[in-house]
Structure 1
Amino acid sequence: MAALRASPLFLPQPLSPSSRSRRCAASRGVAAAARPGPAPYRTGVHGGGAGSKKRLLASRGRPGWVGVPSCLPATEEGVAVAAAASEEEEEEDVFLAREAGWGVRRMGRVGEEMRRVAQVQAEAFHVPVALFNDFFFDFFKAEVLSALIYRVRNSPPDRYACLVAEEAEPTTQLSQAPYEKIVGVVDCTVQDEDDILKHLQGADEYLYVSGIAVLPSFRRRKLGTALLKACEALGLQWRHRFMVLRAYEDDDGARGLYAKAGYRVVSRDPDWVTWVGRRRRVLMIKELPLHDDRIQHQ
């Protein structure tokens, strides 16, 4: 799985106003009308107590991630407030997929698991620097955690999910806390970007897969395959026909993994992106075996 380190994290990747879900806005008109302005930091996750919890629960009807507050601190209070959003939800402790001894489930919305997820993604995607590397790593990890808190707080449970991979039947490291056994992470977000929908015949939404991350010492052990299978299982649960992801064009390892899982390239970034020092990406999609009549009637 070494190739996954070069896969694009795309985090933060704020959604444009046009990408807010039409279906979600229609079914949650009151919450959509109360949506804050474009500056995501205005919502905040500061403070605790009953007032913060009421504001948080009231915001749960807002459609998916509309931005990442770069100035949002990953504080103890922030983690606690984000975790409070799921107090009334049932915990899901069954695996969405199993592969090669690994099990993948939805992240438990508790502070310890969110911090572990941020650690895994930071280790997978941090680019080392010559000086003060530890400082920059800690800063990057704090930004990843802040983004995760924001998405958990502002996304309904059927619009965003963070999936985590661990041993399906752990036989070692029994002294570890459960959250410390998380070794792989992936994000799944419902989106409706017009530039992508034009490639998806008959669909008005899709499940976007991003941020696949595996700890360095656990790569090349089919964790990436397990994470992708769990994303597809979630897509079927949520009645989506298409899975969508992006990969760097020159990342043969990641593209090979996605192609083996059934994803195909449908478009590429324009040539000019390389002129400004960016790596060219490809858009890959996979159609799930879910018919239109099932989507409409179930």
Structure 2
Amino acid sequence: MAVLRASALFPPQPLPPSSRSRRRPTCRGVVAAVRPGRAPSRSSVHGGGAGAGAKKWLLATGRRPGGEVLPCLAATEEGVGAASVVEEEEEEYLAREAGWGVRRMARVGEEMRRVAQVQAEAFHVPVALFNDFFFDFFKAEVLSALIYKVRNSPPDRYACLVAEEAETAATQLSQAPYEKIIGVVDCTVQGEDDVVKHLQGADEYLYVSGIAVLPSFRRRKVGTALLKACEALGLQWRHKFMVLRAYEDDDGARGLYAKAGYVVVSRDPDWVTWVGRRRRVLMIKELPVHDTQIEHK
């Protein structure tokens, strides 16, 4: 899939429980980390504006309402365990596309580790020497950021969505549920002034960031499924606007977003290229949410 990027949490009322359709074995503790695979030579990522450094973006996606960047929590066994909760059931899919289903990540250790694995494979830039060591270190940082967001975000301000193949008898027997996760995306409620000025009648929006798909599953509409699920979540949360960023020179990413209904509303200034950064575009999509629904959300 073409390279797509997005840039990116506190306890309000939780979302009403949605209907449950499938059951998942209960996690009661932290299991061994997912063994990392060989890092790809060049990652392909879906999202909307991670900036020049995916590592820096992954560590700063969580922000308090005032804009303060949240620090990371150490990706220790205790950290994963503290962020995890036992969940015997999961929500039904937010979206289905081409055989893929997208749901909210279950807040259990195995799933968070798998999500970190997928994002690390997507964002890690290979190095000439000690690549395996740097990959493991990078994955630990990704997991640390994820743990912090999960622990410090109410359920209607942040959600990590995961894509997997719709369940079949074969996959149920051959894989643990978390092993089927092949795509990831973050959705965060934000209200930055530079974005809000482009929105009519809204002071917050749902920001889509860090869409990542495992290399062997790219170009198979996983990214499309993730985008549709983000919009379904936006409708659930009664947000009128979806926002993301993409690199200006990334025709594949911009084409996918444009096809999904996102429109370019602004660009980074020219000077960003003087400091070695790639210019990004801000893209917005308006959802069919009535103003009266937003007022009473």
TM-score, normalised relative to structure 2: 0.79
Query: Could you say which residue in structure 2 is the equivalent of 1:13?
Result: 60
| Distance change in 2, residues 1:278/1:171 (3 Å) | farther
Q: 1:286 to 1:99 in 2, by over 3 A?
A: same
TM-score, normalising length: structure 1:
0.79
Distance 2:145 2:58 in 1: 8
The whole-number CA distance in structure 2 between the counterparts of 1:90 and 1:154 is 22
**8 Å contact from structure 2 (residues 103, 163) kept in 1:** yes
Cα distance change, pair 291–160 in 1 and its aligned pair in 2 (3 A)? same
CA distance in 2, matches of 1:191, 1:99: 27
Deviations 1:112-144 (A, max 9, x none): 000000000000110001111001100110000
Q: Is the 8 A contact 1:103 1:166 kept in 2?
A: yes
Matched residue, 1:68 = 71
Question: C-alpha separation between the residues in 2 aligned to 1:18 and 1:107?
Answer: 23
Could you tell me which residue of structure 1 aligns to residue 27 of structure 2? none
The 1-side partners of 2:151 and 2:112 are apart by 12
Change (3 A) 1:153 1:132: same
Matched to 1:3, the amino acid is: V
Amino acid aligned to 2:120: A
Determine whether 1:203 maps to 2:202. yes
Q: CA deviation at 1:280?
A: 0.7
What secondary structure does 1:108 align onto? coil
For 1:3, the equivalent position in structure 2 comes to 3
- Cross-structure match for 1:26: none
Q: Counterpart amino acid of 2:77?
A: E
Alignment of 1:148-187 (within 5 A): 148-170=146-168, 172-173=170-171, 174-187=173-186
In the alignment of these two chains, the number of paired residues is 249
Report percent identity of matched pairs: 81
Q: How does 1:1-298 map to 2 (within 5 A)?
A: 1-4=1-4, 5=44, 7=46, 8=50, 9=54, 10-13=57-60, 19=66, 66-69=69-72, 72-84=73-85, 91-170=89-168, 172-173=170-171, 174-298=173-297
CA distance in 1, matches of 2:174, 2:115: 19
8 Å Cα contact 1:268/1:282 also seen in 2: yes
Aligned equivalents of 2:170, 2:105: Cα separation in 1: 21
Query: RMSD value over aligned CA atoms?
Result: 1.8
Partner secondary structure for residue 174 of structure 2: coil
Residue 3 of structure 1: SS of its match in structure 2? coil
Partners of 2:211 and 2:45 in 1: CA distance? 10
Measured after TM superposition, the shift of residue 170 of structure 1 is 3.1
Unaligned runs of 5+ in 2: 5-43
